[in-house]
A and B are shown apart, each in its own frame.
Chain A
Amino acid sequence: MQRFEFLGRFSRNRGALVGACLILVVALLAVFASLLFPTDPLRIVGMPELWPGEDPDFPLGTDSLGRDILAMIVHGARATLLIGLFASAVATLIGVSVGATAGYFGGWVDEIAMRAAELFQTIPNLIFVLTIVVILGSTLTNIVIAIGIVSWTPIARMTRAEFLSLRDREFVQACRSMGMGDFRIILTEILPNALPPVIVLSSLVVAGAILFESAVSFLGLGDPNVASWGRLVGDGRQLIRSSWYICAIPGIAIMITVLCLNLVGDGLNDALNPKLRDR
């Protein structure tokens, strides 16, 4: 019952619905990439620098080495989405833990946690990601961790704000008066109530993470074994004056995906934000 209500509110926002459908298409492509293009996407299959439409076998053309761009895009979707999701998961985990602790306990715990968050916020994000990747090495895991480390602060702030407003509510006092432990109160009582705005923010962090990863790959610091969209853009940058489509096609894929994720985030916000609910 409640679930249908939620879907109804979500689909009232047309943009969010379109966004969700496109994300679903991208996700399906990513899942079934090996079925659609069973051969290695990084194999040379035709003439180099075929423009889109020039050869019906390669609808999106080929790159400077003669690799099928469509196959690379479909396979790249997997890497790009996974990086986005995991980076967002890392950021949410750190952000919610820090924010919940700070907001619930307050006092000096809050002071320390929020000063730490500010410290992270003062460092320019991209520079920070690059620094971590350069220090730890260019593997997929390290890139995910690096993006998570720079993206947790807004989630921590949001979680803290929710906890501040919820921790003195009477249902929390009731739990405290029963002798429920702090950890249990945080996890089972406050967190479910604090989560909706955090979920919205996490969905936006996925989009941000995809952009970060693209930037890192474009600069040539991405994982050399993973053909993410950012890497495709980076690979095409030498030929940008003659065969600009090599950069443009994965760029458009990134743009559409990030746009859709933002639309979905807005839709989730409308659907989950109790202030907008019509009562």
Chain B
Amino acid sequence: MSLLALKDVRVHFNTAAGVVRAVSGVSLDLAVGETLGLVGESGCGKSTLGKAIMKLVPVAAGEIVVEGTNIAPLQGAALSEMRRKVQMIFQDPYGSLNPRSTVGRSISQPMVLAGWTQGAIDERLETLLGWVGLPSDARQRYPHEFSGGQRQRIGIARALALSPKLIICDEPVSALDVSVRAQVINLLEDLKSQFGVSYLFISHDLSVVEHIADRVAVMYLGTLVEVGARDQIWRNPQHPYTKALLAAAPIANPKLARARQRTVLQGELPSPLNPPAGCPFHSRCPIAQDRCKEERPVLRPVASGAQAACHFV
């Protein structure tokens, strides 16, 4: 049984201009102890998908199954029970901590809500601060006294408080300096090997995903275009969008960078208010044909062993 299974999840937002289909039918599996990288350009709906799993945005349709329980229709007490299994690390380390709460108060919140005694909370707090490498006097201090990397570690400690099975990392290192990124990534990897926690790692930074993810899902305009093991995706991308995305990632070695073949995408991401009919990618796809304008491709196994949603691979 997979830890997390998404079945045709849809998230719609009603705006003045019409209905925005931020996530339109995503199905995905995440196994115990696995790190799944979710990549895609800004505005493709990857953060919204993460928030939908946390039930921070209303789910219009589909199932979100955590350890066999569909949490999409749950409310109130039954939902709180499930929330302990899934926690989230946020993108902005400056915004994800209440500036007027001490670090200790912020980290202990999930435990207070879970009804722990003060003694148990204090003990756990000490352990958590040790795990994420913060001094134990940090608990009386306020977030503004810490650097970005330290704050992100406070956020990680908070997410770990109730020993979740799955942590959704929404761009956890995007707001950090490159030098600090490695520390946080390493911390996440250590915690994974220590506690067997799974990650849904949402990022637009391909180098980070390549480093941390076991499997990768590529998202475009609210749908998945390719899902597979990291090496399958990186060595042998099948979907034209994945190819273009990987080709756009910078390479440090200038010789390699000059040698590689570049497919540069034309145009902008279409508006999710008015997505193109058929394959959502056809308006920018280098190999699009008439069929793509009418028929929407579904994810199916392709030659590399991964799954891709394209008629012509």
Q: Please report A residues at the B interface, Cβ cutoff 8 Å.
A: 2, 169-171, 173-180, 189, 192-193
Contacts and interface: CB of A to CB of B under 8 A. Distances in A.
A178 B91 CA distance: 17
B271 interface: no
B113 interface: yes
Interface in B50-70: 51, 54-56
B207 interface: no
B184 interface: no
Contact of A169 (B55, B95, B106): B95
B92 to A, nearest CB: 6
Interface stretch (B79-87, B123-131, B294-302): B79-87
A179 B96 contact: no
A174 B105 CA distance: 13
A221 B15 CA distance: 52
Given A175-B109, A178-B83, A178-B109, A170 B56 contact: no
Nearest to B96: A170
Interface of B: 51, 54-56, 79-80, 83, 87-88, 90-92, 95-101, 106, 109-110, 113, 142, 155, 158
Contacts of A171: 95-99, 106
B56 A177 contact: yes
Query: Which are the 10 A-B pairs with shortest beta-carbon distances?
Result: A170-B96, A179-B80, A170-B95, A170-B90, A192-B100, A177-B54, A171-B98, A179-B83, A178-B110, A169-B95
Nearest to B55: A177
Nearest to A184: B113
A20 B223 CA distance: 61
Nearest to A190: B98
7 contacts: A170-B92, A171-B98, A174-B155, A177-B55, A178-B110, A179-B79, A180-B109
Given A180-B109, A180-B113, A174 B88 contact: yes
Contact of A193 (B88, B98, B110): B98
Given A178-B110, A192-B100, A193-B100, A170 B91 contact: yes
B88 A177 contact: yes
Contact of A177 (B83, B101, B106): B83
Nearest to A195: B100
Nearest to B142: A2
A177 B88 CA distance: 8
B261 to A, nearest CB: 39
Contacts of A176: 56
A176 B87 CA distance: 11
A245 B158 CA distance: 66
A174 B100 contact: no
Contacts of B109: 175, 178, 180
A193 B95 CA distance: 12
A17 B155 CA distance: 40
A219 to B, nearest CB: 44
Nearest to A176: B56
Contacts of B80: 179
Contacts of A173: 51, 56, 88, 90, 96
B87 A177 contact: yes
A193 B99 contact: yes
B11 to A, nearest CB: 15
A174 B90 contact: yes
A169 B98 CA distance: 9
A179 B90 CA distance: 16
A189 B56 contact: no
Given A173-B51, A180-B113, 14 more contacts: A170-B90, A170-B92, A171-B98, A173-B56, A174-B158, A175-B109, A177-B54, A177-B83, A177-B87, A177-B88, A178-B83, A179-B79, A179-B83, A193-B98
A174 B170 CA distance: 12
Contacts of A174: 88, 90, 96, 155, 158
B173 to A, nearest CB: 15
A109 B87 CA distance: 30
B232 to A, nearest CB: 32
Contacts of B91: 170
Nearest to B111: A178
Nearest to A279: B144
B79 A189 contact: no
A192 to B, nearest CB: 4
Contacts of A178: 83, 87, 109-110, 113
Nearest to B99: A193
Contacts of A192: 98, 100
A192 B106 CA distance: 14
A123 to B, nearest CB: 32
B98 A189 contact: yes
A215 B44 CA distance: 61
Contacts of B155: 174
Nearest to B90: A170
Contacts of B92: 170
A189 B95 CA distance: 13
A171 B99 CA distance: 9
